[in-house]
Structure 1
Amino acid sequence: MNLGLFEYGLVLMSFIITYFATKILISLLINSKRVVLDYHKEGKKFVAHPGGPALIIGLISSLVLAFVITNDIRILAILGVVIISSAIGLVDDFRSLGGRKKPLILVLASVPIILLGTYEPSLDFLFFGSVQLSIIYPLLVLISIPVTANTINTIDVLNGVSTGFVIITSIPLLITLLLIGDSNMVLVTLILISVCLAFFVFHRYPSKIFPGDSGTLAIGAMYGAIAIVGGIELIGVFAILPAILNSFFYLTSMKDFVEHKNIKVRPTRVLSDGTIEAESNENAPITLVRLIVAGNPSKELPIVNTIFVLSLVSAVLATVMGVLTWMI
Structure 2
Amino acid sequence: MPHLQGGWFKPVTLAIAAIPIIAFGAYDTDLAFPLFGDVQIPLLYIGLVLLMIPITGNTINSIDVLNGVASGFMVIASFSLSICLFIVQNYEIAIVSLPLGFVSLAFYKYHKIPSRIFPGDSGALTLGAMYGTIAIIGGVEIIAAVALLPAVINSFLFLSSVKKIVEHRQIKGKPVEHTEDFKLKATDDKTAPVTLVRLLLAGGPLSEKQIGFAIFKLGIFSGILAVITAFMMGVSL
TM-score above 0.5: yes
Alignment of 1:120-131 (within 5 A): 120-131=28-39
Q: Look up the match of 2:21.
A: 113
Question: How far apart, CA to CA, are the structure 2 residues paired with 1:163 and 1:112?
Answer: 26
Q: Which residue of 2 aligns with 1:98?
A: 6
CA distance in structure 1 between the partners assigned to 2:190 and 2:57 by the alignment: 28
Could you tell me whether the CA contact under 8 Å between 1:172 and 1:322 is conserved in 2? no
* Cross-structure match for 2:210: 302
Q: Deviations over 1:207-260 (max 9, x none)?
A: 111100111011100000000000001000011011111001001111112212
Q: Secondary structure of 1:285's match?
A: coil
Query: Who is 1:236 aligned against?
Result: 144
Partner of 1:247: 155
Shift, 1:159, TM fit: 1.0
Whole-Å separation in 2 of the counterparts to 1:179 and 1:269 = 43
CA distance in 1, matches of 2:85, 2:8: 35
Deviations 1:285-320 (A, max 9, x none): 000000000131111111100000001101100111
Q: 1:292, 1:303 within 8 Å by CA — same for their partners in 2?
A: yes
SS in structure 2 at match of 1:269: strand
For structure 2, list consecutive stretches of 5 or more residues without a partner in the other structure. Answer: none
Bigger Rg, which one: 1
* 1:268 corresponds to: 176
Query: 1:121, 1:277 → 2: CA distance?
Result: 45
Q: Does 1:165 align with 2:61?
A: no
> Residues 24-59 of structure 1, C-alpha deviation per residue, up to 9 Å, x if partnerless?
xxxxxxxxxxxxxxxxxxxxxxxxxxxxxxxxxxxx
Matches within 5 A, 1:1-328: 97-328=5-236
Amino acid paired to 1:192: L
Question: Deviations along 1:52-74, whole A, 9 cap, x unmatched?
Answer: xxxxxxxxxxxxxxxxxxxxxxx
Counterpart secondary structure, 1:135? helix
Q: Is the 8 A contact 1:174 1:190 kept in 2?
A: yes
SS of alignment partner, residue 42 of structure 2: coil
C-alpha displacement at 1:165, in angstroms? 0.7
Query: Is the CA contact 2:35–2:235 (under 8 Å) kept in the aligned structure 1?
Result: no
Distance 2:114 2:179 in 1: 18
Further displaced range: 153-162 or 100-109: 100-109
Secondary structure at the counterpart of residue 213 of structure 1: helix
DSSP-derived class of the 2:18 partner? helix
- TM-score, normalising length from structure 1? 0.69
Query: How many residues are matched?
Result: 233
Whole-angstrom CA distance in 1 between matches of 2:26 and 2:180: 52
Q: Which amino acid aligns with 2:46?
A: P
Relative distance call for 1:221 and 1:251 in structure 2 (3 A) is same
Aligned residue for 1:130, secondary structure, equals: strand
Mapped contact 2:88–2:231 kept (Cα < 8 A): no
Identity across the alignment (%): 46
Query: What is the distance in 2 between the residues matched to 1:273 and 1:281?
Result: 20
Unaligned runs of 5+ in 1: 1-95
The alpha-carbon deviation at position 109 of structure 1 amounts to 1.2
One-letter amino acid of the structure 2 residue matched with residue 219 of structure 1: L
Residue 194 of structure 1 deviates from its aligned partner by: 0.9
Contact 2:84–2:226, Cα closer than 8 Å, also in 1: no
TM-score w.r.t. structure 2 length?
Answer: 0.95
Please tell me the root mean square deviation across aligned C-alpha atoms, in Å: 1.3
